[in-house]
Amino acid sequence: MITLHNVSVKYRLIKEVKKRTFQAYIIDYLTGRRIRADKLWALKKISLDISEGESLGIIGLNGAGKSTLLKVISGVIRPTEGKVSVSGKIAPLIELGAGFDHELTGKENIYLNASILGFSRREIGEKYDRIVEFAELKEFVNTPLRSYSSGMIARLGFSIATEVEPDILIVDEVLAVGDVHFKKKCREKILKFRDKGVTILFVSHNMEEVKNLCQKVLWLDHGKIKMIDDPVKVVSEYVGNTTLMEDRLGHNR
């Protein structure tokens, strides 16, 4: 269902060059040499096959390339090198609420966001009550989003995205947002998708959730695949390695 072959993603990190004199500033301005760009390979030569109905956990430290990998698969960004092949409808739960307009009400944002996901106005109307009920925002649905908390916005984003009825569900740290009650609802919904045979890519720093929700786990390290195997085995290696790094840092202090 998902195939990546030698996929790499390079970012340009723009850094402003410090000016030492006014004359140097003028020269840089006239010649266009005001910035310097460094290269960062967020992903490097990733080859991966994910089967239909498979649930894959993706773990790694911050900056390891997890979110970049999900964005490549969901089509948000294009790889610098390599090929990506994806078959099926995707529901990307990445940066929930990123497409919302905070000056509009919750109801208006439901129609706006759902239309971006490909729903017709009639389809949104049919799903509207379910979205509001799952998000538990009935009392606030006619209030502008600028008055919502981050947790409320995440709830609304999750509720809209999961109405897509996808073939592939991409989840990036969704269960890290919101209260315990809503996290439980989200987890149960993800499990229902898994039981229906939906392919799931799940990124989380919660190792217990990764082990419980996933059949296989991929460990990313500095944009490269460090390990991919059984959840218990990979998580054990990862936790042991991370603890060792923390011990070394503490000792060096």
List of residues 6+ apart from 161 with CB closer than 8 A: 91, 92, 93, 96, 117
CA–CA separation, 180 and 191 (whole Å): 17
3-state secondary structure of 105: strand
Tell me, what's the pLDDT at 15? 61
Helix (H), strand (E) at residue 249: helix 231-252
- pTM comes to 0.81
Q: What is the pLDDT of residue 102?
A: 93
Handedness of CA 99, 135, 175, 217 (dihedral sign): negative
Overall CATH class of domain 2-6+47-252: alpha beta
In this predicted structure, what is the pLDDT of residue 58?
97
In whole angstroms, what is the distance from residue 204 CA to residue 45 CA? Answer: 22
User: What gap in Å lies between CA 178 and CA 248, rounded to an integer?
Assistant: 34
Which residues does 30 contact at the CB level (< 8 Å), separation at least 6? none
What pLDDT sits at residue 241? 86
pLDDT in tens, the chain (253 residues): 899 999 999 998 766 555 556 676 666 667 666 555 678 899 999 999 999 999 999 999 999 999 999 999 999 899 999 999 999 989 888 877 777 999 999 999 999 988 887 889 999 999 999 999 999 999 999 999 999 998 889 889 889 988 888 899 999 887 666 678 888 888 899 999 999 999 999 999 999 999 999 999 999 999 999 999 999 999 999 999 887 665 555 555 5
What is the pLDDT, as a whole number, of residue 179? 76
C-alpha–C-alpha distance, residues 143 and 135, integer Å: 14
Residue 122 burial (CB < 10 Å; 0-12/13-18/19+)?
A: exposed
Alpha-carbon span 11 to 7, nearest angstrom: 14
Q: Which residues pair with 10 in a beta bridge?
A: 41
Domain boundaries, the chain: 2-6+47-252
> Cα separation of 66 and 102, whole Å?
28
What pLDDT is stored for residue 251 in this prediction?
52
Question: Can you point out the beta strands (E) in the chain?
Answer: 2-16, 35-50, 55-59, 81-86, 90-93, 168-172, 199-203, 216-221, 224-229
pLDDT reported for residue 250: 58
**What does 31-42 look like in DSSP terms, one character per residue?**
HT--EEEEEEEE
- Report phi then psi at 195, rounded to 5: -65, -25
Question: Beta partners for 93?
Answer: 171
pLDDT of residue 137: 94
Angstrom distance (rounded) from CA 128 to CA 34: 50
Alpha helix (H) ranges present in 39-120? Answer: 66-74, 106-116
Return the structure tokens found at 109.
């944002």
